């Protein structure tokens, strides 16, 4: 018979600090699944294409940093145990995306964004506040956020050249996972955000994408 461990508030804060370090420090997050890029051939890309793709992958990496922080913030303040567990499980899957994007960025000869700590802190705060409001709002925020992520992934897939099969494989698998996260959040009772709220989230996302493309 197995028993579920119950963590104290101090334990949870320490776990959150550990997760933040593993998210922000280079090559600290260990993926649970191998990168989809492994089985794809590496094609020679000219400098301009490689730089552009690296910028897109940097945006996606920062997006995963934000997602990780969002889920951790929500898990910290979630009121129902099953909602907390769902957030923590989703965060584990986001670690895969984080590691895959980071690996690909370095293969392209570039770097992750120096703004990641800023966006992590902002997203963690938003997630924690959403969890404090209600689990329904928290789950709805997940669904709305994942919808935004899928839109960015679709846009990036249109821009990545066909010969870069490695980057495309990563983004295609990420899109499948994010779609599942959004659907699961709504099925669990998440609130469907109205269009004006989604518009505001889209504007904030544009700030992130514009700033992290280069830095």
Give the pLDDT of residue 70.
84
Average pLDDT over residues 4-32: 67
Number of Cβ atoms within 10 Å of the Cβ of 163: 12
Confidence class of residue 28 from pLDDT cuts 50, 70 and 90?
A: low
Give the pLDDT of residue 195.
75
What's the mean pLDDT when you consider all of the chain? Answer: 84
Give the pLDDT of residue 29.
66
Cβ atoms 138, 90 nearer than 8 A: no
CATH of domain 46-213: 1.20.1260.10
Distance CA 161, CA 167 (A): 9
pLDDT > 70? residue 181: yes
Annotated binding site for Fe cation: 64, 94, 97, 146, 178, 181
Cβ atoms 112, 102 nearer than 8 A: yes
Among 76-90, 103-117, 189-203, the range with the most confident prediction by mean pLDDT is 103-117
Residues above pLDDT 70, as percent of the chain: 86
- Residue 117: burial class (beta carbons within 10 Å; 0-12, 13-18, 19+): middle
pLDDT in tens, 121-164: 998 888 888 888 888 888 888 888 888 889 999 999 999 999 99
Give the pLDDT of residue 36.
95
Residues above pLDDT 90, as percent of the chain: 38
Cβ atoms 26, 106 nearer than 8 A: no
Task: Return the minimum-mean-pLDDT range out of 31-35, 166-170, 201-205.
Answer: 201-205
Average pLDDT over residues 67-78: 81
Report CA dihedral (82, 85, 87, 89) to the nearest 10 degrees: -130
User: Measuring CA to CA, how many Å separate 14 from each of 10, 22, 90, 155?
Assistant: 6, 12, 19, 37
Give the pLDDT of residue 136.
85
- Residue 114: burial class (beta carbons within 10 Å; 0-12, 13-18, 19+): exposed
Q: Could you tell me the residue ranges of all domains in the chain?
A: 46-213
Q: Which two tokens stand for residue 179?
A: 């779609």
What kind and span of H or E run contains 73?
helix 47-77
Length of the chain equals 215
pTM of the full structure: 0.85
Higher pLDDT, 3 or 187: 187
Annotated binding site: 64, 94, 97, 146, 178, 181
């Amino acid at each position: 018979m197995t028993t579920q461990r119950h963590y104290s508030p101090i334990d949870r804060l320490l776990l959150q600090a550990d997760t933040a370090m593993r998210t922000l420090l280079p090559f600290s997050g260990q993926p649970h699944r191998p990168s989809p890029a492994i089985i794809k051939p590496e094609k020679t890309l000219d400098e301009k294409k490689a730089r552009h793709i690296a910028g897109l992958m940097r945006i996606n990496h920062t997006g995963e940093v934000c997602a990780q922080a969002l889920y951790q913030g929500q898990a910290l303040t979630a009121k129902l145990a099953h909602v907390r567990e769902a957030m923590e499980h989703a965060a584990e899957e986001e670690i895969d995306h984080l590691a895959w994007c980071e690996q690909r960025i370095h293969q392209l000869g570039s770097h992750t964004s120096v703004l990641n700590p800023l966006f992590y802190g902002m997203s963690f705060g938003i997630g924690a506040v959403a969890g404090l409001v209600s689990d329904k709002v928290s789950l709805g925020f997940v669904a709305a956020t994942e919808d935004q992520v899928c839109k960015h992934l679709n846009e990036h897939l249109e821009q990545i050249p066909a010969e870069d099969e490695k980057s495309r494989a990563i983004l295609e698998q990420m899109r499948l996972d994010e779609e599942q996260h959004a659907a699961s959040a709504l099925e669990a009772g998440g609130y469907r955000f109205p269009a004006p709220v989604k518009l505001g989230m889209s504007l904030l996302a544009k700030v992130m994408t514009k700033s992290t493309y280069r830095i």
